[in-house]
């Protein structure tokens, strides 16, 4: 059970309190979305990108957010929660938004409710991984390529099953493919390869989540050209390097995909640039 407190619709409550009913639409249907953010030394990192994605997701899901749903409003709540939980030095924060109770598939209204939670992070998350990750393909699902694929949806069953597959097969992350057999993303991250001096990541049209760290890398002034292009399994096998990105870990390099092994020369450079630019 989580200790400390959480924030429910702007009110701070003990984390052990029961606040959801059996009619909760996120529980029933996965009706909503979420943001996972890193807080470091009293600041929500990449806050602009997180709340840009949040509002875009609420729009796509036909929520009716009130006017006070702003970056300033949520950032203030996040930091007050982290302060109350003594997590303001380094923590992971999850903001979950869901439609209010009522209705079957068709909701009675589109009013958003939200919960904010925080957890302390180990300082190792600030460092590049010493040992390369091991990846493989999760063969049991395909990620759709539609306008909802880019949302961090509360309905994450495919990613749950991929994470279970990775654990069962003793690998760090599982790669999810789209209906065309091309790379979408991984259990918890977006995927990049390094090939002939270029950084390549699948475009959103390939079914990947619109990751905040992915978007940040696409906007940064890097010593490598960064392009969006569909990636095949063969592209992974023939890559010079592979690395993963998300808002919590930043960048993690991959040491092994099936029978192919990789170094981390580019990942080291990008990690340092991210560290300087964000922290």
Coil, helix or strand at residue 182: coil
DSSP per residue, 112-172: EEEEEEEEE--GGGGS--SS-EEEEEEEEEE---STTTTS-BS--HHHHHHHHHHHHTT-S
CA gap 10, 19 in Å, rounded: 13
- Arithmetic mean of pLDDT, 65-83: 97
Confidence grade of residue 49 (pLDDT, cut at 50, 70, 90) = very high
pLDDT class of 196 with cuts at 50, 70, 90:
very high
**Average confidence (pLDDT) over 77-85:** 97
Domain boundaries, the chain: 5-121, 133-278
pLDDT one-digit tens code per residue, 94-148? 999 999 898 999 999 999 999 999 999 999 999 999 999 999 999 999 999 999 9
Residue 254 φ then ψ, to 5°: -100, 130
Q: Are 220 and 245 in contact (CB under 8 A)?
A: no
The closest of 216, 155, 165, 215 to 186, measured between CA atoms, is 165
Residues paired with residue 136 on neighbouring β-strands, in sequence order: 174
What is residue 277's predicted lDDT score, i.e. its pLDDT? 76
Average pLDDT, the chain: 96
Q: Which pLDDT belongs to residue 1?
A: 46
Query: Whose structure tokens read 């023939």?
Result: 238
* pLDDT tier at 82, thresholds 50, 70, 90: very high
Strand partners, 228: 201
Question: Once rounded to an integer, what is the mean pLDDT over residues 221-250?
Answer: 97
**In CATH, what class is 5-121?**
alpha beta
The confidence score (pLDDT) of residue 276 equals 84
Determine whether domain 133-278 maps to CATH 3.30.420.60. no
pLDDT exceeds 80 at position 230: yes
Would the pLDDT of 184 be above 80? yes
Residue 150, pLDDT above cutoff 60 = yes
The C-alpha atoms of residue 12 and residue 31 are separated, in whole angstroms, by 23
pTM of the shown model: 0.95
pLDDT band at 279 (very low <50, low <70, confident <90, very high): low
How far is it, in rounded angstroms, from Cα 215 to Cα 210? 7
| Percent share of the chain, pLDDT over 70 | 99
- DSSP element (H, E) containing 241: strand 241-246
pLDDT(215) > 80:
yes
Residue 2 pLDDT greater than 80, yes or no:
no
Look at residue 45 in the predicted model and tell me its pLDDT.
96
């Amino acid at each position: 059970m989580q200790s400390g407190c959480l924030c429910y619709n702007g009110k701070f409550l003990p984390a052990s309190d029961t606040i959801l009913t059996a009619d909760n639409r996120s529980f029933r249907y996965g009706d909503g979305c979420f943001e996972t953010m890193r807080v470091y030394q009293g600041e929500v990192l990449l806050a602009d990108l997180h709340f840009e994605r949040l509002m875009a997701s609420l729009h796509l899901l036909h929520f009716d957010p009130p006017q006070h749903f702003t970056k300033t409003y949520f950032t203030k709540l996040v930091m007050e929660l982290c302060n109350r939980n003594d997590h303001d030095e380094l923590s992971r924060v999850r903001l979950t938004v869901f439609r209010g109770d009522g209705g079957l598939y068709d909701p009675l209204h589109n009013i958003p409710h939200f919960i904010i939670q925080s957890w302390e992070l180990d300082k190792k998350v600030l460092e590049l991984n010493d040992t390369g990750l091991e990846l493989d393909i999760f063969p049991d699902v395909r990620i759709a390529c539609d306008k909802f694929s880019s949302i961090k949806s509360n309905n994450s069953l495919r990613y749950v099953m991929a994470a279970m597959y990775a654990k069962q097969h003793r690998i760090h992350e599982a790669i999810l493919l789209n209906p065309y057999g091309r790379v979408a993303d991984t259990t918890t991250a977006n995927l990049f390869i390094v090939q002939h001096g270029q950084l390549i990541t699948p475009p959103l049209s390939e079914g990947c989540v619109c990751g905040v760290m992915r978007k940040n890398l696409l906007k940064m002034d890097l010593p490598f050209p960064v392009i969006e292009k569909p990636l095949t399994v063969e592209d992974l096998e023939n890559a010079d390097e592979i690395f993963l990105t998300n808002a919590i870990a930043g960048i993690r390099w991959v040491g092994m995909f099936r029978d192919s092994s990789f170094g981390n020369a580019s990942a080291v450079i990008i990690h340092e640039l991210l560290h300087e630019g964000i922290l």
